[in-house]
Amino acid sequence: MKHVSCQNCPLRALPLFVAHTDSQVALIESLKREQIVVPADRTVIHEGQGDAPLYTLFSGWAFRFKTLSDGRRQILNFLLPGDFIGVQQKMGDASAHGVQTLTDAMLCVFRRDAVWELHRSAPTLGFGVTWLTAHEESLVDDTLLSVGRRSAEERIATLLVVLYKRVAALLPDGDGQDGVPFPLTQQHIADGLGLSLVHTNKTLRKLERRGLHRIEGGRLHLLDVSTLTRIADLYGDGKPVPRPLI
Amino acid sequence: MKHVSCQNCPLRALPLFVAHTDSQVALIESLKREQIVVPADRTVIHEGQGDAPLYTLFSGWAFRFKTLSDGRRQILNFLLPGDFIGVQQKMGDASAHGVQTLTDAMLCVFRRDAVWELHRSAPTLGFGVTWLTAHEESLVDDTLLSVGRRSAEERIATLLVVLYKRVAALLPDGDGQDGVPFPLTQQHIADGLGLSLVHTNKTLRKLERRGLHRIEGGRLHLLDVSTLTRIADLYGDGKPVPRPLI
DNA sequence: CGACGTGTTGATCTCTCTCAATTAGAGTGG
DNA sequence: CCACTCTAATTGAGAGAGATCAACACGTCG
């Protein structure tokens, strides 16, 4: 696998990510071990795996999940390019989650001590790690609010709007008029929202028949964002806060 | 309010917390502005409040929460002494949560730029902030698994066991034989588990009649930990990982 | 062509919610 | 000391959102 320079990383060009100095990028690159390609539907990190490396998702989709011993699965959040993978595992925590790809993906693999080295050598980037971690927690917070207190219809509307905005922020400016890539199966949606597959299907169809959205050919189209937003009880301009990319 | 020295902070003496060097503690103390006393059931941070300060919970209980516009509330996690309050708010995130006390509490208030200063001046402590943030996320992950995929009985068993262990880790060694303090109302339990108040009550009573636990006089007694643990489908030794205290 | 994964729909079933009423305990004021 | 009030806990009854069970359609792939 060709070792792509972090300096030329196409993700950094996106307005979603804050600029780092040359020396910061050089530090990140020095901590990077390699890039790996992972096919869709592969488990990247197993639940309970204690020695997982640190990754950044470079391309493709993935998700974090936990399961109960009888197989019930909860997806904790979906991972998009630029997302960190595996910080929690590095923290020696008993409760670990698994990570699985949704699509073919490319991951940047970092040295095991990368999180510490970032803190030690570049406070700004160390702060960035904290920021990313706190931000990911806020995504889980939002999902917990949904799963705990929203109806099935409200949950699905929320997921569609929130994911759409996250994906759109990664597309070249102005893109996303013709929908955005959407590789989730209905089983993934169900597992992400604490619903059964059947009820997820029925609720999705109901919203689709009302003309609020369309999922077709692996793309998600939001046809009536304002109604979806109202159903979801969401607020805020939806403009994502620029984030560090490590 | 007397400014108690961080050096002599009684929390640091607990085996739950890792030791810091004198200079690290001095740095923490230099970033500390004051201590404040907050009565029970007070909102410390309002949802959406952007300029919240950074706190450490010194004594008492609190919780983080989010609400929908019609008043439905989801408690995201419970906060015990030593827990950080307000890191996410500092990250300029759109989605903010509220924080409310459950009991009379004492909070250490830090300078607004404390998180950054920690990263800048003491990488170890900056790393500690990341650690704490990641750890808190893992607590939310666990709750999300519960709320999304566990039955009411399983959720309550999980909450009782997990909270009991967290509280016991804060008590003088060997204490906790006669139960642990437990200031939650059934409404708090319901809001933490995505259940209705009535169903929470009925499920609690059912477990209590089976002799698995007892809640009485503001204390929680686990009478049959192994059965509760089995119902909850929990595993692990339950020994908490030592954590930084900032 | 059959197996398999994914999506779809109808028919029950049941867990949990909502509504309603009662009890118990802590304060509070006269 | 006793009514009065308020909060928290409790219990029953009925309703409903969502789960489970079952069948079928459709496309892909070996």
A192-222 tens-digit pLDDT: 999 999 999 999 999 999 999 999 999 999 9
The stretch A141-156 carries a mean pLDDT of 98
The stretch A177-187 carries a mean pLDDT of 95
Answering whether pTM is above 0.95, one says: yes
Tell me: the pLDDT tens digits for B48-78?
A: 888 889 999 999 999 999 999 999 999 999 9
Q: How far is the CA of A190 from the C1' of D19 (A)?
A: 12
Fold match between domain A10-124 and domain A143-232: no
Cα distance from B1 to chain A (closest Cα, Å)? Answer: 31
Given an 8 Å threshold on Cβ–Cβ distance, is A115 in contact with B137?
Answer: no
Contacting residues of A for B94, CB less than 8 Å apart: 236-238, 241
Given an 8 Å threshold on Cβ–Cβ distance, is B236 in contact with A135?
Answer: no
Taking every pair of Cα atoms in chain A, the longest distance, rounded to a whole number of angstroms, is: 54
Q: How far is the CA of B196 from the C1' of C18 (A)?
A: 9
Q: Could you please report the per-residue DSSP string of chain A? A: -----STT-GGGGSTTB----HHHHHHHHHHEEEEEEE-TT-EEE-TT-SS--EEEEEES-EEEEEE-TTS-EEEEEEE-TT-EE-HHHHTT-SS--EEEESS-EEEEEE-TTHHHHHHHH-HHHHHHHHHHHHHHHHHHHHHHHHHHH--HHHHHHHHHHHHHHHHHTTSSTT--TT-EE----HHHHHHHHT--HHHHHHHHHHHHHTTSEEEETTEEEES-HHHHHHHHT--S--PPPPB---
Protein contacts on strand D: list nucleotides below 7 Å from a Cβ: 7-13, 17-22
Query: CA-nearest residue of chain B to A137?
Result: B137
Chain B contact for A136 (CB, 8 A cutoff): yes
Q: Would you say how long chain B is, in residues? A: 246
Percentage of chain A beyond pLDDT 70 is 96
Query: CA-nearest residue of chain B to A143?
Result: B144
Checking if the pLDDT of A95 tops 90, the result is no
pLDDT at A117: 97
Q: Which of A91, A155, A159 is most worth mutating to test chain B (most B CB atoms within 10 A of its CB)? A: A91
Residue nearest D21, CA–C1′ metric: A198
Nucleotide whose C1' lies closest to the alpha carbon of residue B199: C16
Tell me: the pLDDT tens digits for A3-40?
A: 678 999 999 999 999 999 999 999 999 999 999 999 99
Q: List all residues of chain B from 76 to 105 with a beta carbon under 8 Å from chain A.
A: 76, 87-88, 90-95, 97
* Residue of B68, B116, B237 lying closest to A127 (CB–CB): B116
Tell me: the pLDDT tens digits for A74-91?
A: 999 999 999 999 887 777
Chain A contact for B166 (CB, 8 A cutoff): no
Checking if the pLDDT of A92 tops 70, the result is no
Contacting residues of B for A148, CB less than 8 Å apart: 74, 147, 191, 193-194
Protein contacts on strand C: list nucleotides below 7 Å from a Cβ: 5-11, 15-20
Checking if the pLDDT of B1 tops 60, the result is no
Checking if the pLDDT of B202 tops 60, the result is yes
Give the integer Cα–Cα distance in Å for A8 and B38: 51
Band of the pLDDT at B185, cuts 50, 70, 90?
very high
Tell me: the pLDDT tens digits for B141-181?
A: 999 999 999 999 999 999 999 999 999 999 988 777 889 99
Band of the pLDDT at B93, cuts 50, 70, 90?
low
Least confident range of A16-30, A116-130, B79-93, B226-240? B79-93
Cα distance from A2 to chain B (closest Cα, Å)? Answer: 31
Checking if the pLDDT of A1 tops 60, the result is no
Mean pLDDT, all residues of chain A: 94
Give residue limits of the domains in chain A. 10-124, 143-232
Percentage of chain A beyond pLDDT 90 is 85
Give the integer Cα–Cα distance in Å for B230 and B232: 5
Band of the pLDDT at B240, cuts 50, 70, 90?
confident
CATH of span A143-232: 1.10.10.10
Tell me: the pLDDT tens digits for B213-237?
A: 999 999 999 999 999 999 999 988 7
The stretch A59-70 carries a mean pLDDT of 97
Mean pLDDT, all residues of chain B: 94
pLDDT at A2: 54
* Residue of B92, B115, B148 lying closest to A147 (CB–CB): B148
pLDDT at A94: 59
Given an 8 Å threshold on Cβ–Cβ distance, is A115 in contact with B92?
Answer: no
CA distances (Å), A241 to each of A19, A232, B91, B95, B203, in order? Answer: 13, 21, 9, 11, 42
Q: How far is the CA of B61 from the C1' of C25 (A)?
A: 23
Tell me: the pLDDT tens digits for A42-62?
A: 999 999 887 889 999 999 999
Say whether the CB atom of A26 is under 7 angstroms from strand C. Answer: no
Give the CA-trace dihedral at B108, B112, B115, B119, to 10 degrees. Answer: -120
Checking if the pLDDT of B87 tops 90, the result is no
Band of the pLDDT at B26, cuts 50, 70, 90?
very high
Per CATH, which fold does B10-124 belong to? Jelly Rolls (2.60.120)
Q: How far is the CA of B220 from the C1' of D3 (A)?
A: 34
The stretch B87-101 carries a mean pLDDT of 81
pLDDT at A107: 97
Percentage of chain B beyond pLDDT 90 is 85
Nucleotide whose C1' lies closest to the alpha carbon of residue B184: D8
The stretch A139-163 carries a mean pLDDT of 98
Chain A contact for B140 (CB, 8 A cutoff): yes
Least confident range of A194-198, B124-128, B169-173, B184-188? B169-173
The answer to whether A85 and A62 are in contact (CB under 8 A) is: yes
pLDDT at A161: 97
pLDDT at A50: 79
Given an 8 Å threshold on Cβ–Cβ distance, is A130 in contact with B135?
Answer: no
